[in-house]
Amino acid sequence: MEKVIKVWLKYYPVYLSGLWGTLWISAVTVFLGALLGMVVALMRMSRLKILRTVFNVYVEILRGTPILLQLYFFWIGLPKLVPFELTDTQCIVAALVVNASAFISEIIRAGIGAVDKGQWEAARSIGLSETHVMTRIILPQAVKNILPALCNEFISTVKGTSLASVFFVGELMTSFKTVQSATFLALQSLTIVGIIYFLLNFILSRLLRVIERRLTVSD
């Protein structure tokens, strides 16, 4: 334990930098993933069979293949597909966003599906368009169903970003590699990173419970 404390006191700026990297990557991933996931969810609920089929396949591919495989695919393939230069971080974040969109689309679709069908019928009976029904009536009610699960997705994303260290993207596991290379104290450095992950996810899970309680009270 003494060595763990010494490593922390000497290298805490490295760990804090890694923590910041993990947080911003997770936040960007969930935010953009939610926007893309909304589009995917709506396309999967479309009346057009071709759209439903295409986006169902999109989701099944992303959910049915390892995320590390997807990260490698974007890391190697994405720079070849765009006419401008991309950094490793941009490629990895793009992969995480696309992966998250598949899971978030399920969350959004389930949240929308949980809204009483009578709301749809009542809105249509007074002549509202599909767009107005969705944006003004259904989505505001679905948010209460979506938000807790979306917070859970953020917690999962925080842990999932550790795979970005394979590509030397700056986050917590990368800070472990940096300190381990400098000190050769792998176990101590790994212990520090584990404690940070635990505390971070513990705090986030408690915040999630507070959000869930407030949403329950508001109902």
Query: What CATH number did the domain enclosing 124 receive?
Result: 1.10.3720.10
Residue ranges making up the domain that contains 150: 2-218
Compute the half-sphere exposure of residue 164: CA atoms within 13 Å on the CB side of its CA: 32
Q: Write out pLDDT tens, residues 15-66.
A: 999 999 999 999 999 999 999 999 999 899 888 899 999 999 999 999 999 9
pLDDT at residue 216 is higher than 90: no
How far is residue 197 from each of residues 58, 162, 177, 204, measured CA to CA in Å? 31, 10, 15, 11
List, for residues 112-165, the tens digit of each pLDDT value.
Answer: 877 777 766 776 677 666 677 777 777 777 787 788 888 888 888 998 889 998
For residues 151 and 209, give the distance between their C-alpha atoms in angstroms, rounded to a whole number.
10
d(CA 102, CA 4): 39
pLDDT tops 60 at residue 100? yes
> Which residue type, as a one-letter code, is found at position 176?
F
Count of domains forming the chain: 1
